Amino acid sequence: MKIVVLAGGRSPERNVSLSSGAKITTALREKGHAAVLIDLFLGDDLSDVKNVADVFQRDATTTNYAISDEILTDEAIDALRTDGTKGLFGKNVLEICAAADIVFLGLHGEDGENGKVQAAFDLFGIRYTGSGSLASGVTMDKKISKELLLHNHIKTSGYVSVKKGEPTPQIDFGFPVVVKPSNGGSSIGMKIANDQAELEAALPDAYRFDDEVVIEEFIKGREFSMGVVNGVAMPAIEIIVNDGWYDFEHKFQENQTTFQTPPDIPDDVHTEMQAIALKTMTVLGLTNYGRIDFFWNEDGIYVIEGNSLPGMTPLSLLPQEAAAAGISYPDLCEQIVKGKLALYEAK
């Protein structure tokens, strides 16, 4: 198959996305597909080919993107594009994607996961992996997704939301609290506040990434994640942070976090976690694949949030879970592609 792996973009998680995209492209090439990595924001000038279709005949070598600790600003990302053009889609991106059999979305962060790219592709009849535009937007918005979870009796932390310029709301559930942008991922802009002063100090940083912030009840417990691929829940993975909490650095830098899959938990708890993961996928409208994050303590299992486009870097959770289930990284990528194509064909 001719497959575009679309990565990069203009999200603060740009570097993470490029790392995922490089690994996905190599894996799909190993499976015999004509896969090509394209940067959503920078595009491709096609200067080395006669027509768009020739892109898929390029040499199979793929750049390995190392993930830095740097969280890119809008200004830093804008400076990467030197042709003076505006907008999210770089040069020839839509034309190249339209020439593919399917686009593997290796995007992360707001403009990759909030449904905008998916909506544009729907309008142009371009097929892509992952969930549709509505489910993507709902899942990315932590306020809306929490409301859906609570309405469907899925246990999650209490929360309040506040928009930029509004006074800080009253916290009824006490400190500590978790402060995070309503739209975003990889714990960027997220802080744990132990008192009112720390809460007030955390809000400006969160507002750098979104105009609305969610302040959540802090749930103390063991942290887990569980991927779902084509309706099958993977083995859970326990996240054991060596020092501190599971922030951006701990997620993407080596030797910061210990991962255990399958985790050392009772079988009935693991079975319940799988059932909750599948229900959460359904409630949020997620299809093809996704990942659900949890806390577990003596009070039960709490859903932290859903992820519509889980990371696929060497340290990402879903590939580790798949490996525990006996699924290699290349096979995982191909299963995602084939699973989404089956959904398109079933329409």
Binding residues for Mg(2+): 293, 305, 307
H or E segment and range at residue 191 = strand 191-193
Give the active site residue among 13, 217, 223, 238. 13
Distance separating alpha carbons of residues 276 and 227, to the nearest angstrom: 12
- Computed from CA positions of residues 96, 99, 100, 105, in that sequence, does the dihedral angle turn out positive or negative? positive
Active-site pick, 136, 186, 225, 308: 186
Residue 121 tokens, joined: 């592709």
Annotated catalytic, 131? no
Alpha helices (runs of H) in 74-228, residue ranges in sequence order: 74-78, 93-98, 110-113, 116-124, 133-140, 142-151, 196-207
What's the rounded Cα separation, in Å, for the pair 113 and 90?
Answer: 17
Integer Cα distance of 60 and 65 in angstroms:
15
Annotated active-site residue 13? The verdict is yes
Is residue 111 helix, strand or coil? helix
Instruction: Provide the 3-class DSSP secondary structure of residue 307.
Output: strand
Residues contacting 74, CB < 8 A, separation 6+: 10
Find where tokens 């909490």 sit: 245
- Closest C-alpha to 225, from 260, 176, 183: 260
Which one is catalytic: 19, 316, 321, 334? 316
Q: Are 126 and 105 in contact (CB under 8 A)?
A: no
- Please list the active-site residues: 13, 186, 316
